[in-house]
Amino acid sequence: MSFQLFGLPVSRGVAIGRAVLIASSRVDVAHYFINEGQVEAEIGRMRSARDAVAQELSNLKRDLPADAPAELPALLDVHLLLLHDEALTGATKQWIIDRHYNAEWALSAQLEVLARQFDEMEDDYLRERKADLEQVVERLLRAMSRDAGASAVSFSPSPPPSASRDFGGEDPLVLVANDIAPADMLQFKRSVFTGFITDVGGKTSHTAIVARSLDIPAVVGAREASRIIRQDDWLIIDGDAGIVIVNPSPIVLEEYRFRQRQSELERARLSRLRHTPSVTLDGEKVELLANIELPGDAPAALEAGAVGVGLFRSEFLFMNREGELPGEDEQFEAYRSAVEAMGGLPVTIRTVDIGADKPLERMSVNELRHEHALNPALGLRAIRWSLSEPAMFRQQLRAILRASAYGKVRLLVPMVAHLNEARATLEALARAKQQLVEAAKPFNDIEVGAMVEVPAAALILPSLLRLFDFVSIGTNDLIQYTLAIDRADETVAHLYDPWHAAVLQLVAQSIAQARSAGKSVSVCGEMAGDPAFTELLLAMGLRSFSMHPSQISSVKQRILRTDARRWAGKLEQVLQSDDPQSACTDLHRMFAAAPTQPAPQISAAI
């Protein structure tokens, strides 16, 4: 039966594929693909776990006291029957053979299938046996993870062998989960999935941001998707509308395949702009920079036509490490790799921005677990955490400084809200420089910038500009804190509004104050990569945009078609409007009706 689910559209385009469910479990389960040569070993692991659990259950039954209720041995017998039932173990084996899932993933997948069958039973007694099945599977999972401990979710970069199915050809895969942690999204970047769906999240939650960076369709905040969708269902993700179609009819499938082909043609057309200079119709040069998470992202930034890195999110070097933070030398090698890969173009490295939707396994030396904070978004995060861990912070600062000997490096400080934080950061940087001088390790002087992410920073920006060389506006958090909206919470996602007049006024004010002080200013939040805001940001005076590489061509196309001077003349009209988005739409229509003649040197490009 075909049906639709609705969520938030966070990454445009169409994805079609088989559902791969990451089921919720009381036991953490590793999910990865195995190769052909590992199939028998995984089946052997499953058999060993089954034999171990069977022995446990037999021992429990044997050691029951004489006065134990009669129901207890009967219950253990039920568990033993379930353990050896081909519907569980035999089908799990087939997941391993056919889809090349590891044993834990295969077992979880089959539990999902059987649990749904139990839910559909009319007999109350039989329906309640689902709990017994879950207990048996939990025992099996614990048996498999007993030696090494339970693993976090991970994704193998190697795809499983595809088979010909109902709709023909190879089967692409779509990931369906309750949520995907930012650290796990690093694995997702190298995986085989062509799109993903999550139950929770907002348009600027980190899973959504990474989806846009991958330029793959995604829908978040789809509520019960991971419960309703079944393993191996055919799915269509409409990333433009935020719709998921489950088991589509052949006619609907063909319609979306056509849309897929159209999207691919549009991407190919836009890619031709990557080496075209970014200049507005009235001759204003605009700098298009890239946001990256890891050094390996730098080649993609160059390929997309970025003229530098406007945001290197260093916190991703700290994730998926089981609490062990990277040392100075490891960080230095990572930063140097990115700097060298950019071939002399500037690289702006943000100090570790841990917290809120990006917690570490170990937040401090006393193992403060950030997720236990009452409100992580308002807690010990970003520069606050760095200043609370001076040894770690100096290590990172020294590593960044050392990388500056290999190219143009800039340092960016996240979530600055107080002048004393700014002064403490600069003092820590001065100490790090002195330590490098004493150790005879080379470095260059670097520019230091502050992120404008909280309203307080925007309101005291003139004072901050006296301490910093540049500013970068992080619109994702600026919107969150201005509107008091948790951007990762789908229950309030409809209130997250980048078009809110207060947000636009803070952004415009920050850009104007930085330009007035003669300091460079960029926007590195999601607004920079959204073509809907390009003309408005240009009207505000912004001449430096930083975004995911996949977004550069779309934004460049808008820049090449924009007369920034004409838009600047209408800026106050938009900012004072009760509905800035509608005001911008009206301006688009007006300027389209009376277009400016493109400059000769760029008319061919657009």
122 is in an annotated binding site: no
Average pLDDT estimate for 491-518 = 94
Residue 551 CB contacts under 8 Å (≥ 6 apart), including other chains = 212, 215, 529, 530
Residue 254 CB contacts under 8 Å (≥ 6 apart), including other chains = none
Q: What is the pLDDT of residue 368?
A: 38
Find, among 227, 272, 167, 193, the residue nearest to 11 by Cα.
193
257 is in an annotated binding site: no
Convert the pLDDT of each residue in 533-590 to its tens digit.
999 999 999 999 999 998 999 999 999 999 999 999 999 999 999 999 999 999 999 9
pLDDT band at 203 (very low <50, low <70, confident <90, very high): confident
Instruction: Give the integer Cα–Cα distance in Å for 204 and 490.
Output: 10
Find, among 240, 251, 236, 173, the residue nearest to 4 by Cα.
236
Does the pLDDT of residue 358 top 60, yes or no?
no
Convert the pLDDT of each residue in 312-327 to its tens digit.
999 888 876 666 789 9
Computed over its alpha carbons, how large is the radius of gyration of the chain? 27
Give the residue numbers marked as catalytic. 206, 524
Instruction: Give the integer Cα–Cα distance in Å for 336 and 332.
Output: 6
Instruction: Give the integer Cα–Cα distance in Å for 327 and 89.
Output: 44
Q: What is the pLDDT of residue 22?
A: 74
Report CA torsion sign: 526, 532, 534, 537: negative
297 is in an annotated binding site: no
pLDDT band at 116 (very low <50, low <70, confident <90, very high): confident
Convert the pLDDT of each residue in 86-100 to its tens digit.
889 889 999 999 888
Does the pLDDT of residue 67 top 80, yes or no?
no
254 is in an annotated binding site: no
pLDDT band at 282 (very low <50, low <70, confident <90, very high): very high
247 is in an annotated binding site: no
Query: What domains, with CATH codes, occur in the chain?
Result: 3-22+156-268 (3.50.30.10), 36-145 (1.10.274.10), 282-603 (3.20.20.60)
Does the pLDDT of residue 365 top 90, yes or no?
no
Of residues 108 and 597, more confidently modeled = 108
Phi, psi dihedral angles at 362 (to 5 degrees): -135, 115
Does the pLDDT of residue 102 top 70, yes or no?
yes
